[in-house]
Copies of this chain bind each other. A is one copy, B any other.
Amino acid sequence: MESRNIRLAVIPGDGIGTEVVAEGLKVIEAVGAKIEATHYDLGAARYHRTGETLPDAVMEELRGYDAILLGAVGDPSVPPGILERDLLLRLRFAFDHYVNLRPVRLFPGVATPLADTPAESIDMVVVREGTEGLYAGTGGVMRRGTPYEIATQESLNTAHGVERVVRYAFEKARSRPRKKLTLVHKTNVLTFAGDLWQRTVDRVAEEFPDVSTDYCHIDAASMFFVTQPERFDVVVTDNLFGDIITDLGAAIAGGIGLAASGNINPERTAPSMFEPVHGSAPDIAGQGKADPTATILSVAMLLDHLGLEAEAARVEQAVADDIVERLAGWASRTTHEIGDDITARVSS
């Protein structure tokens, strides 16, 4: 496959974000993908300097790229929610990243916190809705700071928003050997939203007779992730449940240092954005301790999304090989060393 020039916007962000993104870019270069990377200085530093999180003009510029690579945003020096909401979530919403794709896969050789769990029993993909639900940001507060305060949050779910992500999940399930889709929700309590999700899955299922479907409450699913992860193949769920369950997924698959994600706009009406599931980890920032593997796997998803399937596969294979062969020395390698090792495998 011939690669065309990729116009990539890079948002390293905060904390370890800058460190891991640097390694991701090395790998993109090494794999021979022609990129023009443009860095955007967004995150806590910019916020403190100028008060800006994501100026409109910058957002419109970002819209012109083929894809975005993001490190992490968030810093204890900024009130909780500001960067998350006005930068990360704003991009997901503005660019209609309605599929938040998060593979949960235990690479052979990686230690899982679960006892007696062979690698092949953890191999699923979570399709998390990315533009609705409790992330809509609607809600409010009244009589703040008084004994009569009331604070609300609203989960907004639309037929349009649910159907498109469910449809994507069915396609994904169809493409996998087990062809199984599990809806995770809490239909017995969130009856309005749950009913919409369940009806949508039931209806779309008729178009996918080759895919088997299943349902699991979020509380039970959390349990099964730990006790029977092999139950799951493709999981489709709402924004908040997806947030929770993919961190749990990262934990069982060997930790947040390995968990990749793609915020995808399948119709490509705006650039998709790829980022490690982990955050900015201010406690270890600047020490070269961060594992760049999650970012490098996110780069593989990015390449795949851009049609560079062969390059994506090479990056994934390099990570898998790196994990198997270097496991003994794992804990002692720096961010750079891991990046270099994977880069060397990709280039060779």
Contact = CB atoms under 8 A, between A and B. Distances in A.
Given A189-B134, A222-B247, A250-B223, A159 B153 contact: no
A81 B141 contact: no
Interface in A127-154: 134-135, 137, 139-141, 143, 145-154
A161 to B, nearest CB: 9
A317 interface: no
A84 B71 CA distance: 42
Given A152-B192, A192-B152, A243 B219 contact: yes
Contacts of A81: 187-189, 191, 194
Contacts of A151: 157-158, 192-193, 195-196
A240 B135 contact: no
A308 interface: no
A186 B139 contact: no
Interface string A235-276: 000001001111110111001100000000000000000000
A172 B32 CA distance: 59
A80 interface: yes
Contacts of A240: 186, 189
26 contacts: A74-B188, A80-B191, A80-B198, A84-B188, A85-B188, A112-B115, A113-B226, A114-B226, A135-B189, A139-B154, A139-B192, A146-B159, A149-B159, A150-B158, A151-B157, A151-B158, A152-B156, A152-B192, A152-B193, A153-B154, A153-B190, A219-B248, A223-B248, A223-B250, A226-B252, A227-B255
